[in-house]
Structure 1
Amino acid sequence: MIKTFYYKCLEFFVLFVVLPISFVVGTSPIVKTVTGLVGFLYVVYVLLVVEKEKFRLAKNLKWILFWRDTLLKFSVIVALTTIFVNVTDKESLFNVVLNKPKLWVFILFVYSLLSVYPQEIIFRTFFFKRYARFFRDKRLLILVNAVLFSLAHLFYGNNFVLLITFLGGLLFAWTYVETKSTIMVSIEHAIYGCWLFTVGMGEILGFPT
Structure 2
Amino acid sequence: MDEIGSEALSCIFPAVIPPKYAKPTVGASLAHRHTQVMQRTNVSVYCHCMKWKSLLWLEFLTLFGALPLAYALGLIPLPRIPILLVIFAASLIYLVRHPDFNHRELIHGLRGHSREIRNIFIRSGCVAVICMAAVLMIDPYLLFGFPRSRPLLWLGVMLLYPLLSAYPQEIIYRAFLFTRYKSILPSSSVILWASTLAFAFLHIVFANWLAVAFTLPAGYIFTRTYVRTESLLLTSMEHALYGCIVFTSGLGRFFYTPS
Kindly provide the amino acid, as one letter, of the partner of residue 199 in structure 1.
Answer: S
Matched residue, 1:13: 61
Contact 1:85–1:199 (8 Å) recurs in 2: yes
Q: 1:107 to 1:207 in 2, by over 3 A?
A: farther
Contact 2:206–2:257 (8 Å) recurs in 1: no
> Could you tell me how far apart the structure 1 residues matched to 2:121 and 2:128 are?
10
* Residue correspondence of structure 1 range 21-170 to structure 2 within 5 A: 21-30=69-78, 36=84, 38-51=86-99, 53=101, 54=103, 56-58=106-108, 61-170=111-220
Q: Which stretch shows the higher mean deviation, 130-139 or 117-126?
A: 130-139
Report the Cα offset of residue 16 of structure 1. Answer: 1.2
Q: Which stretch shows the higher mean deviation, 92-101 or 186-195?
A: 92-101
SS in 2 for 1:62: coil
- CA deviation profile, 1:61-101 (whole Å, cap 9, x unmatched): 43211212112211211111111212221111012223322
Report the Cα offset of residue 159 of structure 1. Answer: 0.9
Structure 2's unaligned 5+ residue stretches are: 1-47
Identity of aligned residues (%): 29
Is residue 2:254 matched to residue 1:204? Answer: yes
Contact 2:81–2:165 (8 Å) recurs in 1: no
Q: How many residues align?
A: 207
> Could you tell me how far apart the structure 2 residues matched to 1:136 and 1:63 are?
28
Contact 1:74–1:192 (8 Å) recurs in 2: yes
Kindly provide the amino acid, as one letter, of the partner of residue 156 in structure 1.
Answer: F
- CA deviation profile, 1:23-80 (whole Å, cap 9, x unmatched): 1232352387776555334322322224574264337843211212112211211111
> Could you tell me how far apart the structure 1 residues matched to 2:149 and 2:74 are?
35
Structure with bigger gyration radius: 2
Matched residue, 2:240: 190
RMSD between superposed Cα atoms in Å = 2.7
Kindly provide the amino acid, as one letter, of the partner of residue 106 in structure 1.
Answer: G
TM-score scaled by length of structure 2:
0.70
Report the Cα offset of residue 102 of structure 1. Answer: 1.3
